């Protein structure tokens, strides 16, 4: 009890010290044999363009599109250029999120951290940054190759679109099937629209407004989503490049609810959704999710990935838990001490 009170009293001081600790940590002497050399940039430069050209493209995204995520915005960004033996090994662009940093790809390009010469090189670069970096979700077991300081496993839900996936909704006394049917009936006069650029803007803006007061500050990704996703909207499901799709529910010209999906090969990943609160009593959110799943199945996709996390109970209504993903945290020693006092 006393320890909890002491920690609570110290949290404001700990948070005030974080910027100074970060400066010290970033300039700390080389931390391990073989650690890469890190050069920091507060804005994108021609030198970083040259480095990007020498590194492999990140999975499913060409360099021109990736560069959209590196552009400045209303939330602080930094770029770390890592070299080993004089050769580029990683180029890590970060966005500020509460007390830590996250890759600019997070919440925009699932499962991707940064361009690097190899996963091991990326891990060494992340360890050498001297700042706390978190990838809060979406990584596969391959994340172990990065040797993070913390690797948390969590359960995920996903739909096999090539099965009778609606049969799952009859479980638990058929509550989900009844919810879907009720939403279909109440929204029967509404229409759906796919891959409209203005719908994408509306969904992201509504999502940002909905979560603007959330203390986790996920909304720091909104400007990058608004910049990056329109550039890869639509496209053929057979293309190997990553693409973005929207499914929008409409009553006449009025947007009622919408969903954003990211396509990777033949898999569609649910990213975010928004709705007009005036239609909550009609089950508009349920209707647009069901419409998005049906549309995905109609494209020939194999999987509709719902993810996990804090909303796992909701997602489990749609699909069974069928696998795991990982959160990875890269936390230097100085920040490990701060975390013990302020585990935010």
* pLDDT tens track for 28-49: 655 667 789 999 999 999 999 9
Percent of the chain with pLDDT over 70: 91
97 beta partners: 100
* pLDDT tens track for 190-247: 999 999 999 999 999 999 999 999 999 999 999 999 999 999 998 655 555 789 999 9
In angstroms, the CA 40 to CA 81 distance is 6
Q: What is the pTM for the complete model shown?
A: 0.90
**What does the pLDDT read at residue 240?**
57
- Of 88, 85, 91, the C-alpha closest to 34 is 85
In angstroms, the CA 94 to CA 134 distance is 10
Q: Which fold has domain 162-301?
A: Aminopeptidase (3.40.630)
**What does the pLDDT read at residue 309?**
82
Share the mean pLDDT of the chain: 91
Q: For residue 58, what is the DSSP state? A: P
CATH 3.40.630.30 spans which residues of the chain?
162-301
> What is the pLDDT averaged over residues 97-121?
95
**What does the pLDDT read at residue 311?**
82
Residues 247 and 194: beta-carbon distance below 8 Å: yes
């Amino acid at each position: 009890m006393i320890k909890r009170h002491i920690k609570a009293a110290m949290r404001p001081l700990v948070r005030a010290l974080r910027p100074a600790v970060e400066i010290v940590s970033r300039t700390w002497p080389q931390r391990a044999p073989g650690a890469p050399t890190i050069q920091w940039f507060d804005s994108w430069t021609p030198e970083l363009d040259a480095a990007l050209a020498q590194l492999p493209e990140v999975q499913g995204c060409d360099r021109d599109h990736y560069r959209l995520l590196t552009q400045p915005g209303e939330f602080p960004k930094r770029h770390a250029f890592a070299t080993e033996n004089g050769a580029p090994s990683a180029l890590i662009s970060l966005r500020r999120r509460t007390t830590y940093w996250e890759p600019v790809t997070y919440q925009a390009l699932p499962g991707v951290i940064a361009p690097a010469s190899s996963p091991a090189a990326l891990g060494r670069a992340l360890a050498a940054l001297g700042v706390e970096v978190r990838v809060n979700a979406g990584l596969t077991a391959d994340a172990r190759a990065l040797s993070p300081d913390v690797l948390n496993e969590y359960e995920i839900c996903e739909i096999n679109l090539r099965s009778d996936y609606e049969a799952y909704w009859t479980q638990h006394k058929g509550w989900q099937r009844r919810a879907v049917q009720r939403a279909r009936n109440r929204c029967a006069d509404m229409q759906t629209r796919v891959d409209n650029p203005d719908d994408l803007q509306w969904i992201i803006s509504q999502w940002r407004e909905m979560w603007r007061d959330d203390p986790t500050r996920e909304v720091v990704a909104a400007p990058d989503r608004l910049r990056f996703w329109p550039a890869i909207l639509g496209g053929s499901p057979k293309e190997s490049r990553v693409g973005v799709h929207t499914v929008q529910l409409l009553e006449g010209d009025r947007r009622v609810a919408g969903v954003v999906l990211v396509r990777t090969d033949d898999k569609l990943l649910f990213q975010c959704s928004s709705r007009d609160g005036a239609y909550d009593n009609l089950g508009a959110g349920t209707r647009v999710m069901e419409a998005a799943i049906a549309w995905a199945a109609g494209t020939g996709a194999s999987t509709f990935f719902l993810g996990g996390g804090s909303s796992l109970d909701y997602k489990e209504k749609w699909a069974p838990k069928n696998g795991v993903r990982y959160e990875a945290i890269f936390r230097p020693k100085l920040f490990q001490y701060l975390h013990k006092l302020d585990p935010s």
